[in-house]
Amino acid sequence: MAVQAAQAASSTATPSTATSTATPGVSLGPAVALSCRECGERCPLGPVFACAECFGPLEIAYEFSGGDASGPAGLRERIEAGPDNIWRYAPLLPVPADVADKPGINPGFTKLVRADRLARELGVTGSLHVKDDSGNPTHSFKDRVVAIAVEAARAFGFTTLSCSSTGNLAGAVGAAAARAGLRSCVFIPHDLEQGKVVMAAVYGGELVGIEGNYDDVNRFCSELIGDPAGEGWGFVNVNLRPYYAEGSKTLAYEICEQLGWRLPDQLVVPIASGSQLTKIDKGLKELIALGLVEDRPYKIFGAQAEGCSPVSRAFKDGHDVVRPVRPDTIAKSLAIGNPADGPYVLDIARRTGGAVEDVNDGQIVDAIKLLARTEGIFAETAGGVTVGVTKKLIEEGVLDPSLTTVVLNTGDGLKTLDAVSPVVGPVGTIAATTDAFHALVPAVNTQ
């Protein structure tokens, strides 16, 4: 029964539609088909991302085996005995059974930090945790989604990995392609933070700047798929998007396992395209359906930067349509003005009793400093957004401070130094004498 429920919870595979339409010769574990999120039409596994019937987004449909004859307890034991990375959840992902044996960057199982000092600052009386994904190989959560996309690229015979990126994804694609022995060619807006540009370029693949913002870059990549120059290319967040997006589910799996196989009461998740939030919700529903966690309510809150907050605005206005905006924020990793999963984020926030909120650039910087000062975690600007939104939601009485709350930090602050460099630095420069230091002591003691 748990397996049937999980098929329904995977949003596309149900007991009545369990027939596989997988492409012959393609083995991606429990993944059996692609299914339209809008009309439910199914098609074979392949490098496609839009429904041929209604142009809705496609996602993975599964047939979960249950993993162990002893039920949920056996599946939990199997997972816990797996490697300390996302491949411990291979039975729940669109990857081949031997994925852990292949060359890869093997991201995941990052720290879930009990943030007691931050909790006191924010007035949280329950337990507050930071899921710190800066510990991944290229220091962002993008390593998770790219690792899944690499397996799809291998299955479909692609020789080049590509993407449109606000920075973190470009670095993740470059690293994963280098490890897998694939060529990479990635495209970024021309004005990204220098740290992200260097990290994307160092792996030896081609890095191309495009004049314009992320939405311009993404449109260009969509056009390149149909061009002879893009033949044999797997664009991880375009034609491989259904597979790529599933990597975000592993955040939900890890959080629940690290909480002792329990659902958090509340999660605060950053919104760029919105895919991370929607897949975290999908992962939680799968764990419930498989009997791996107790079924009880949880709330998901979305976090945006004020300078790119189309989903937040739609939520506050009570709209179902997300109107595109032109981004203007220091949180460049979230600067997607036309988020593909925006309407689905609205649905999830409303269904779970959550909300979508935004903070301005000054609040983002303050939140980065607050997290660093209280917990020793240097977050990139997206992490400043989630911490800042958490603070704002508590102050407004929207987020319950007595419950178990998990806040996501999706990247390393070393990638976004420009955001905080104007407001941090030495308290003074002195001669190498104790007298000089004594003269500085009053200034030091006020910090």
Per-residue model confidence as pLDDT tens digits over 298-330? 999 999 999 999 999 999 999 999 999 999 999
Summarize the confidence of residues 120-132 as an average pLDDT: 98
Nearest to 112 by CA among 223, 6, 261: 261
Edge-to-edge order in the sheet of strand 58-62? 42-43, 31-36, 58-62
Which pLDDT score, from 0 to 100, does residue 320 have? 96
Give mean pLDDT, residues 22-43. 88
Question: In the structure, what pLDDT confidence band is assigned to residue 444 with cuts at 50, 70 and 90?
Answer: low
pLDDT of 225: 87
Contact 181, 259 (CB under 8 A): no
Structure tokens at 430: 């002195």
pLDDT band at 4 (very low <50, low <70, confident <90, very high): very low
CB atoms within 10 A of CB 418: 13
Is pLDDT at 1 greater than 50 in this prediction? no
Q: How confident is the model at residue 20 (pLDDT cuts 50, 70, 90)?
A: very low
Candidates 126, 82, 206; CA nearest to 406 is 126
Of 146 and 191, which is predicted with more confidence? Answer: 146
Mean pLDDT within 148-166: 95
Q: In what order do the strands lie in the sheet with 160-164?
A: 206-210, 183-189, 160-164, 233-235
Q: Left if phi > 0, otherwise alpha if psi is -120 to 50, otherwise beta: which for 291? A: left
Mean pLDDT score, 239-262: 97
pLDDT value at 97 more than 70: yes
State the pLDDT at residue 267: 98
Q: What is the CA radius of gyration of the chain?
A: 22
Q: Which pLDDT score is estimated for 12?
A: 39
C-alpha span between 307 and 329 (Å, rounded): 5
* Mean pLDDT estimate for the chain: 92
Regarding predicted confidence, which is higher, 360 or 67?
360
pLDDT (mean) for 213-237: 90
Whats the size of the chain, residue-wise?
447
441: pLDDT strictly greater than 50: yes
> Token pair of 198, please?
């260097």
Q: Is the pLDDT of residue 2 over 50?
A: no
**Amino acid (one-letter) located at 411:** G
Return the residue matching tokens 């003074």.
Answer: 428
Instruction: Specify the pLDDT at position 446.
Output: 54
Q: Per-residue pLDDT for 403 more than 60?
A: yes
Using a CB cutoff of 8 Å and minimum separation of 24, what contacts does 368-372 make?
A: 368/413, 368/419, 368/420, 369/420, 369/423, 369/424, 370/118, 370/121, 371/118, 371/130, 371/409, 372/413
Confidence of residue 222 (pLDDT cuts 50, 70, 90): confident
